[in-house]
Structure 1
Amino acid sequence: MEQIKKPLENYRDIDAFKIYVSDLGLLCAKKDLAANDILYMVEEINDFKGGMAENYVNVQLSINSYYTYYWESERGAEVDFIIQRDGQLIPIEVKSADNTRAKSLKVYMDTYKPAYAIKLSTKNFGFEDNKKIVPLYAAFCI
């Protein structure tokens, strides 16, 4: 989705989509990951952590009845999720670690000037630069 306007459904690009699974346990089984690999986040799965965190957040958003969209600019900036809540379009960025620099989210915010954004990561709750910081474990309460 390159244009962000309400209603989001009218502007989605049906040729650009992401596929998520509804059960993270099955995802890990499909990838042949052991429970200890996930619990202790061993370094060998670093390349997979981001996708797994994003999939987890998608499941939580879906459980809370949000339709999820994502945004990608012509220059490759990407925001993981855009949701519509209380008449506002809210960008959501997902990070699998506490290094939460999100250049793409900044590009989105500078372009569309949302009321606020949400950034999920391993950091604790907070608020900085018009972004609500939410720990990944609390994605269900977005």
Structure 2
Amino acid sequence: NICFNLSSPKLPFTSYAKHDIFKVYFKDIGLLSGYYGAEVQQALMFGDMQIKNGALLEAVVADILMKSGKKLYYFSTNTTLEVDFFIKYDGEATPLEVKSADNTKSKTMKTLFENYGFDRGIKLSMGNYDKTDGVTKYPIYMAMFL
């Protein structure tokens, strides 16, 4: 699964995709967890989703989005700003963050709202549904419905 960086977080994504800057996600999450080794597999069996700084969970979401027919895009600047995914949601470009930790607060959405004019975003986490300050939080398993 290839996820292209966007030069600007706007629709249509294909017009702003940088085809020479991208991330690659495993399509087979089982192979990825096998690649990480026994320690990671054991952590998964005990429900630890924070392993590898959430990289495995991010790969799971990438796979879900691809299987639901979405092309993968992310947004990253030369600074520390990086948005895991951008999706077209209700006809609008929408930032999508994946959080593996219990603490799902991040400065990313706030920065997008202040500097790029976004008024809503989505966070997927291990927590329950919540909506605060334009950010809608969904449990990871809801990714297939976005």
Output the TM-score relative to the length of structure 1: 0.87
Confirm whether residue 24 of structure 1 aligns to residue 29 of structure 2: yes
C-alpha deviation, 1:114, in angstroms:
3.0
Change (3 A) 1:117 1:46: closer
| 1:11 and 2:16 correspond | yes
Work out the CA distance in 1 between the residues paired with 2:143 and 2:89: 15
Gaps spanning 5+ residues in structure 1: where?
none
Please tell me the root mean square deviation across aligned C-alpha atoms, in Å. 1.9
Q: Report the counterpart of residue 126 of structure 2 in structure 1.
A: 122
Whole-Å Cα distance in 1 between the matches of residues 99 and 10 of structure 2?
A: 25
Q: Is the 2:113–2:119 Cα contact (8 Å) retained in structure 1?
A: no
CA distance in 2, matches of 1:69, 1:46: 23
Deviation of the 1:17 alpha carbon: 0.6
Is 1:140 the counterpart of 2:144? The answer is yes
How many residues of Structure 1 are paired with residues of Structure 2 in the alignment?
Answer: 140
Shift of 1:112: 2.6
* Deviation string, structure 1 residues 95-116 (Cα, Å, up to 9, x no partner): 1112111212221122233352
Show structure 1 runs of 4+ deviating over 4 A. none
| Contact 1:20 1:55 (C-alpha < 8 Å) held by counterparts | yes
Asked if the contact 1:78/1:105 (under 8 Å) is kept, the reply is no
After TM superposition, the structure 1 = structure 2 runs for residues 1-142 of structure 1, keeping only pairs within 5 Å, are 1-33=6-38, 35-41=41-47, 46-142=50-146
Q: Percent identity?
A: 32
CA distance, structure 1, for counterparts of residue 75 and residue 91 of structure 2: 18
The structure with the largest strand share of the pair is 2
AA aligned to 2:117 is: K
TM-score, length basis structure 2: 0.85
